[in-house]
Structure formats: structure tokens, C-alpha cells
A and B are shown apart, each in its own frame.
Chain A
Amino acid sequence: MREMIKMVIVVTVLASFSGGLLASVRNGTKERIEVAQLTFVKGPAIQKIMEGSSNDPIEDRFSLTINDTEMDFFVGKFDGKPKTVAFEGFGRGYGGDMGVMVGIDIEKETVHGVAVTTHAETPGLGSLAADDPGFVSQFKGKPLDKSVKLTQDGGLINALGGATVTSRAVCNAAEQIVRLYEENKEQISEKTKSF
């Protein structure tokens, strides 16, 4: 019986001690981990979109709750003014969901740039959406209406050869972002201008 009690006590004390230690380390590293994830997962896409901005868009970010989901928004300053806001949408690609970061110029109300963050598309075909700047650069400067669609769907974007599903996924994600932006324009632009 005594041994039994000792076993229970030792394991309990050990477990609660390690639980406490891990909780405090987790709290201490939480912020750094968040920044690291943004820098290495979404960072490259954000840098591509915000090329030439005078600030660090990963530093200047805010979050809003839209349709019950919390979303991160990244602000890019050009000529000293916070003019561009980028956030991420998802489209169904050939190899699963694709994450697509879309930057929107809130002054001119145009698409500022598009970049793929995460994907599992076929290397050499669908993966060109992420690797070939020619495809995503088509979005640059397009107005926020039906034009961010493939040409065969009535838009202005030429699909990648051999990767229509991927191209459509990128367009769907971009459309979704544009729609979200239109629906929450006031909130988003107000927050953006506060930087």
C-alpha cells in the first residue's frame, strides 16, 4: 500500500512539474513562434507582393474576425503611406487546398499582387503558379471585379498551360479575397490606414 501511494505521488509530482515547465516555455516562445511561422511560411509570398514597400509587412500586421474566423492582414507602406493590404485565401487545386496571398491597393481599388503561399501541385505544371512569376503577375493592377477569372470563365487571366485546375484555384482564391474585401471594406481600410 505504501509503495502504491509513493508511485502515485512521484508520477503526479513529476507530471505536474513538467506540465508547468512546458506551459511557461510555451508562453515565453509563443510570440517568436508566430513570427517565425509567418516569416517562413507566408513571408516569401508577402515579400513578393509587397516588393519595394518601405516597412516590414510582417511586423505591421493586424487581425480581424470575419465570418467567425480570425484572419491576419499585412500592411505595406508605399511612398510613406499604408496603401496596400494583403491577406490569404484558399482555392481547391489539383493536389489539395492552395493558399494564395492577395495584396489589394486600397486607394486605387485594384489588385496589387498575388503570390502562392502553400500548395501541393504537380511539379513542373501546377507548381509553376508558385514558381513562375509570369502567371501571378497577370493579376497586378486588375480592377476588383469579375476580371480576376480565367479567360475561359469570362475574366482576364490566361491559364497556365496544362494546369487549368491550378490556375482556376488561384483565381477562386483571389476572387474570394476580393469579395471578402468588398464586404468588409470599411473595417479593413480603416485598420490599414492606422499604421
Chain B
Amino acid sequence: MAKTLTQEFVKGLWEEVPPFRLVLGLCPVLAVTTTVENGIGMGIATTFVLVCANTLVSLLRNIIPSRVRIACFILIIATFVTLVELLMQAFAYPLFLALGIFIPLIVVNCVVLGRSEAFASKNRPINAIADGLGIGIGFTLSLGALGAVREVLGNGTFLGMEVFGPSFVPFTFMIEAPGAFVGLGLMLCIMNFIGKK
């Protein structure tokens, strides 16, 4: 119990922010960040799954036999992911169309399983919630930031609004797949640069 709740929460925002510091869960990071909206939508879905899965895993941590723990974690995560998928279809269908296959793929996102295995299964529920929320929000902000860079440069818009006016020629490379790698690389570089000071 060395860390307080606030510390558990805050570490996800900077120190252990998944895509940039842990370099985990890159598949959705690269695939869906073509716009800010998609990035944040994906981030919120992942946050929901993270918090719910962390809570449940932490509550059941003394019941789940350690030899089948991974199976149980995946089962819990898959349940919440399917829940998110159904709810998104019912209430945010356009977002569901935009994110497509990447919603069901949250099941195999290593950030979610990683937090269950490394944190929630060893800590009290309240700490697990703080941890899930922190990591989730960090993940959402990272996706939003990468989405913003790509959308502004690649499409000349931010959340669908024009940024540069009609004379701007979109740098479409940024919203294609290679642009995701370049964008991510540059952001990693900036993060490391700031972190070194």
C-alpha cells in the first residue's frame, strides 16, 4: 500500500500512459486515430472495459484459481466488450460503423489484460478502479491527441470543423496507415524529450 489512490490514478496519465510510455495496445492506436472523434470514442470504450474488468477481477481475485486466471480474465473482458459493442450499436451507430472491427478487438488489447493481470488481481477494488480510470483516461487522451495531429494535418479539420480555410491542401499521407506510424513516432519522440528533463 505504498501508493495513494491519487497516485494510482495519476500514473496512468503520464508516467505509464499506455501507447507512449508502455508502448502497449498499439493496434487500435494506429488504426482508428484517423479523426479526433474516432480516437476519443475508441478511448472511452476501452476505458469503460478497463474500469469494469478491473473492478470485477479485483473483486474476484481471491476466488479465481490462479491456474485458470487468464481464461477468467478474458471471459470477464469479453463480456464487457460485447456489452460495449451492443450499447454502441444501439446508441451511437455512426461511431460503431467508423470503429468497426476494432471494438470487438478490445478483447485482445493487451492494455486491458495487462492491467487485470498486473494490477487488479493483486489490489483492492478501489485501487483497481483508480488504476483503470487513470490508464483509461490516459489512453483516451493519447488517442485523441494522435487523432488530432492526424486529422488536422491530413484532413484540415478538427472534430469536423475547418481549421485552415479553403486554401489549405490536406496532407492526406497523415490519415493513411503510414501516417499513423510517423505520427506515433513523433509523439513518442516528444514525450521522451520532455521526460528527460
Interface members, chain A 29-70 (any B CB < 8 Å): 29, 32-33, 36-37, 39-40
* B75 and A14 form a contact (CB under 8 A): yes
A43 to B64, CA, bound (A): 47
The interface size of chain B toward A, counting residues with CB under 8 Å, comes to 22
- Is B79's beta carbon under 8 Å from chain A? yes
Interface size class of A (residues with CB under 8 A): 10 to 19
A3 to B63, CA, bound (A): 12
A7 to B67, CA, bound (A): 8
Contacting A36 at CB < 8 Å: which of B65, B71, B83, B90? B90
A residues near B87, Cβ cutoff 8 Å: 25, 29
- Does more than half of chain B's interface fall in helix, strand or loop, or is it mixed? helix
A13 to B105, CA, bound (A): 24
Q: Using a Cβ cutoff of 8 Å, how many contacts connect chains A and B? A: 54
- Is B6's beta carbon under 8 Å from chain A? no
B residues near A32, Cβ cutoff 8 Å: 90-91
Given A7-B65, A10-B68, A11-B71, are A37 and B76 neighbors across the interface (CB < 8 Å)? no
Given A25-B86, A33-B86, A33-B89, are A7 and B68 neighbors across the interface (CB < 8 Å)? yes
B residues near A25, Cβ cutoff 8 Å: 83, 86-87
A residues near B97, Cβ cutoff 8 Å: 40
- Is B82's beta carbon under 8 Å from chain A? yes
A residues near B90, Cβ cutoff 8 Å: 29, 32-33, 36
A residues near B168, Cβ cutoff 8 Å: none
A residues near B67, Cβ cutoff 8 Å: 3, 7
A7 to B90, CA, bound (A): 35
- Is B173's beta carbon under 8 Å from chain A? no
Per-residue CB contact flags for chain B residues 66-98 toward chain A (1 = under 8 Å, else 0) read 011001100110110011001101110110010
* B89 and A22 form a contact (CB under 8 A): no
Contacting B83 at CB < 8 Å: which of A6, A10, A22, A33? A22
* A11 and B89 form a contact (CB under 8 A): no
Quote the shortest CB–CB distance from B43 to chain A (angstroms): 22
Given A37-B93, A40-B97, are A15 and B75 neighbors across the interface (CB < 8 Å)? yes
Per-residue CB contact flags for chain A residues 1-31 toward chain B (1 = under 8 Å, else 0) read 0010011001100110010011001100100
A116 to B64, CA, bound (A): 52
A39 to B89, CA, bound (A): 12
Quote the shortest CB–CB distance from A158 to chain B (angstroms): 33
B residues near A18, Cβ cutoff 8 Å: 75-76, 78-79
A159 to B177, CA, bound (A): 36
Q: Which 8 A-B pairs have the closest CB atoms?
A: A18-B79, A36-B93, A32-B90, A29-B90, A33-B89, A40-B93, A7-B65, A7-B68
Residues of chain B having any CB pair with chain A under 8 Å:
60, 63-65, 67-68, 71-72, 75-76, 78-79, 82-83, 86-87, 89-91, 93-94, 97
Given contacts A22-B79, A40-B93, could you give 14 more A-B pairs where the C-beta distance is less than 8 Å?
Answer: A3-B65, A3-B67, A7-B67, A14-B75, A18-B76, A21-B79, A21-B83, A22-B82, A25-B87, A29-B90, A33-B89, A33-B93, A37-B93, A40-B94
